[in-house]
Structure 1
Amino acid sequence: MKEKLLHYWTEFGVWIYFILYILINILYGDMISSYYEKIPKPIITSALFLLLIYTTYKAFTPTKENPENLLIPSENDFQRKENNVISLIIIIPAFILYFLISDSFNVNYIIIFLILLVNTKNETSLNRTASFQIKKGLITFKNGKEERIFNTSEITSLEVFPNQIILFKENSQELISFLELEKEDFQNIKTYFNKRVPEISINLAQPVTQ
């Protein structure tokens, strides 16, 4: 439940910042504008351009993955992807409309648009953030701030559903929920566990679609 609440606060954070921006602009807009006007425009443009270079570099630099970890998607990952796609759909028409109705050409606004576009474009692909790691007889599951550790000797089998995984023990079971697994993820889980702990059987509880 805490992870779900944290997720919703994270998703609505953009709107909170936007509202704060509006309030600050109403209360202190004139003061901020006076300070802003004193900054030489080439310095602002140069800073934005350097930020664009850094953002582009980060966006197109492959993320190094730990081969010891198995990444799987949580439902938060899919929600985040959908929100980023919606943001991209909003950002592009908004800036195109601005350029069409604006009487002046502002290179800084174009750079800001490119920064937002690169950031959003990089996040429109699915980013799997939940993970398993099997090491030294322990199974470690992580999802955000959540971390759960299981002893491999206590687990007899795994039953994989599209939205959850059940770890069976001799007299009890453990539930890992808030997942959104696809067929590819099931195959990866099966391969990962079979390679490291073949004594634990992996069962697909129901069809997992693409």
Structure 2
Amino acid sequence: MSTIRERNKELILRAASEEFADKGFAATKTSDIAAKAGLPKPNVYYYFKSKENLYREVLESIIEPILAASTPFNPDGDPSEVLSGYIRSKIRISRDVPAASKVFASEIMHGAPHLSPDQVQQLNAQAKHNIECIQTWIDRGQIAHVDAHHLMFSIWAATQTYADFDWQIAGVTGKARLDESDYEAAAQTIIRMVLKGCAPD
């Protein structure tokens, strides 16, 4: 695949992520995506065939790092290291691809109508695996007797908020936009709260 083709696809995907995040799937026009990408509208159809395909590509682009974030989870892993690594990975996703993260969150809130059954199965299997690992640590006395499901949900919420509400967080902190130090502070704070809250009784 040529460098120009790769570059154009990346420009379109980035622009589409931002447009879908701002307006939702139904209200987004391919002409607006093309204009934001700085490319002719026919290029969108040339590379992605349809708005629906492009939307699914945006979802696919965020699902891959979400699944990869759970790689450290295993029953024999050290809970503090695994949870810290997972939180940092989730914060990096919110930092690096906030628009695609917002699109994914909106898709989930609307019942995941554009996700394939295989994608839904992958995401659910990943979550189940992570929760089972946490429950194993609880049963072994390695962490406190918290609810494994709700611990996972709390981590999702705490890390996802830095994508969904980045504008509000920046405004409250008096910045034009969040910088690296903000994301590092967020990761350290969430890690501290989770590890302290999960310390063995």
Return the structure number with greater helix share: 2
TM-score (norm 2): 0.26
Return the structure number with greater strand share: 1
User: RCO greater where, 1 or 2, for CA within 8 Å and sep 6 or more?
Assistant: 2
Larger radius of gyration: 1
TM-score (norm 1): 0.25
